[in-house]
Amino acid sequence: MRPRAQSAHGRSFGNLAQLYDDVRPSYPDAAINLMPMNWKDAQVCDLGAGTGVLSRLLLDRGSQVIAVDPDEAALANNPARSLIGSAEDTGLPTDCADVVTVAQAWHWFDETRAAAEIARILKPGGHLLILINQLDVRIAWVLRLSRIMHAGDVYRPAYRPGPAGFDLVDHALVEFTTPVTVDGIVDLARTRSYWLRSNEVTRARVESNLYDYFSLDHPVSGELDLPYLCLAYVLRSAA
């Protein structure tokens, strides 16, 4: 996808802000705790913060959070102080953050420009925490579900983010599940970028295929536990 188109898709989630909050999983404590610090009173920039799935958890830990995102509609659901901006141009002052967090958004950024901007707003020796929730496609039925949804989730165990000017100091893979109904999985598909950029015919086909899958191939009654992985990476500014 071209950078401009990629950026546009990354800004489209605010149209479904409440649905996104309702069906997207939160981030496990073990992933957040990978950061070697006390979150209380920490100055945190939650970058690509969207509706605030991570922002809420950081506020609960006592952090001073500023949520930055280009999507004004998404930020309207975010309880943190907010600022319209991008990863490449946050609008924040230099050396203002102890930590920059990026949850479910790193793949939308221009990595070179974002790394330079993050390094600028971090205090010397500050940290960058990247969190990525994805379906646990190591499990056969979840892999099939991912393909029906066109989720694009691919498990790459060797992947490590390597933005210029940062050193990777720790990483972890945290397994977790979230309870969901089949209707909830269809709603989850509606928050994916494939759905958002598809026409009504394609959306109807995906919805039908999901209901068929859970009635015929993988029958479900009531709720099921949907397996996820949270990939967590802690990086320190080399400046």
Encoded amino acid at 213, one letter: Y
pLDDT per residue of the chain (239 residues) written in tens, 0 to 9: 334 334 444 455 545 677 877 888 999 999 999 998 999 999 999 999 999 999 999 999 999 999 999 999 999 999 999 999 999 999 999 999 999 999 999 999 999 999 999 999 999 999 999 999 999 999 999 999 999 999 989 999 899 999 999 999 999 999 999 999 999 999 999 988 899 899 999 999 999 999 999 999 999 989 999 999 999 999 999 97
The pLDDT assigned to 221 comes to 87
The pLDDT assigned to 10 comes to 45
The pLDDT assigned to 9 comes to 42
The pLDDT assigned to 237 comes to 95
Q: Please, what is the end-to-end C-alpha distance for the chain in angstroms?
A: 32
The pLDDT assigned to 191 comes to 87
The pLDDT assigned to 15 comes to 56
pTM: predicted TM-score of the whole model, two decimal places: 0.90
CA distance 161 to 166: 9
- Contact between 90 and 83 under an 8 Å Cβ cutoff? The reply is yes
Cβ count near 126 (within 10 Å): 24
DSSP alpha helices (H): ranges in 86-191?
111-121, 140-149, 182-190
| Neighbouring residues of 127: CB distance < 8 A, sequence distance ≥ 6 | 35, 37, 98, 99, 100, 169, 234, 235, 236, 237
CA distance 233 to 39: 16
Give the chain's domains with CATH numbers: 3-135+153-177+227-237 (3.40.50.150)
The token duo for 237 is 């500014």
Following CA atoms 15, 16, 21, 23 in sequence, which dihedral angle do they give, to the nearest 10 degrees?
A: -160
The pLDDT assigned to 3 comes to 41
